[in-house]
Structure formats: structure tokens, C-alpha cells
Amino acid sequence: MVNSAPEYVELRAWLDANLPGVPPGTLTGKALNYLNNEWPKLVRYLEDGRLEIDNNLAENAIRPFVIGRKNWLFSDSVHGVKASANLYSLVESAKANGLEPYQYMRQVFTVLPQAEMVEAIESLLPWAVKKIPAETRYATPRFTHRLRRSVTSFRNRTPNQGRTPPYQIGPFGVRN
């Protein structure tokens, strides 16, 4: 920002000098008029140090949604669309807060069923989550016991029992 301010002063002087001499109907005249009309928006970031010169962070955050939007045409219901939007928003918020999305979602879906107070739920929001060591993250006795039982029952099944074990391990944890 400090380095770019003199460049903007020089560009503005050049624009003021050349704008009156270019016919407004030409392509160059239209471009110069556009620059003149949009000048306050262009230099806004010079007035506030919190602002970026571009919106690359926002563009990069929405890119997965833009790429996947054709897939979302197949959502079955309005509730499904809202649930997907909430989930995507939570994942992007986790990324923005420096959390690894899969680990964060595992933590949320592991702890959320035991949450009884609003404060417990708010403590699971991406900006409030305390990072815990990866080796202790999911090693709760209940989870480990159910996981061990699920793997054992899957290994001991006979081929004609079907393809799914009694307990499925999915992205939301172990379920019956």
C-alpha cells in the first residue's frame, strides 16, 4: 500500500491530463471514462489498511462451489440444499481459521451429540475450536471400542452376510 500510493498519484495525473483530449466514443475514451468513474472504488484500499487491493481470498474460497455447482442441481429437496450450504459454509470457515476440514468435522460430529448447552455448541465453531493433538483427538474409549468391534465383525462375516458390516464407519463416525 505504501509503495502503490505514489503510483496511483502518477496514474491520476496522467488520467487528468489525457481524459479531455480523447473522444469519449472511442474505445480508449470509454476505457478512460470508466477508470475516471470507478476511481473512488479503485483507491478505497489506500484509505483503510485493513482492505486488500484485490478479492483473491474470496475468489479462492468460492472456487470449489463454482466448480461443483452442476453437481448441486441434483439436490432432492430445499432442506437438502440448505443443509449442503450450511456444511460448505462450515468447511470454508474451518479453512479460513487454519483448521484441516476433515479433522475439524470429525471433531464436531464426535463432540456435538454430547453438547447440551448453547455454549458447548458455540465452542465447536471454527474460530473457537482449540487445537488438540492429533494422536489424542479421537482416541476416546467408547469410539475405540466401537471401532474395534466394527472391524472385528467385518473380518468375521461370511460372504453371504452381505457387503456391509453391522457398524459402518463413514465421514460422520461409527453408526449402527
Domain residue extents for the chain: 4-47, 56-131, 141-175
The C-alpha cell at 28 is: 480508449
* Cβ density class 148-169: b for 16+ within 10 Å, e for less: eebeeebeeeeeeeeeebebee
Percentage of the chain lying above the pLDDT 90 cut: 20
pLDDT of residue 35: 94
The pTM for the full model equals 0.43
Summarised one tens digit per residue, pLDDT across range 34-78 is 999 999 988 888 888 888 888 888 888 778 777 767 767 777 788
Nearest to 39 by CA among 12, 62, 58: 12
Largest CA distance in the chain: 87
pLDDT at 90: 86
Instruction: Give the least confident one: 85-89, 94-98, 118-122, 144-148.
Output: 144-148
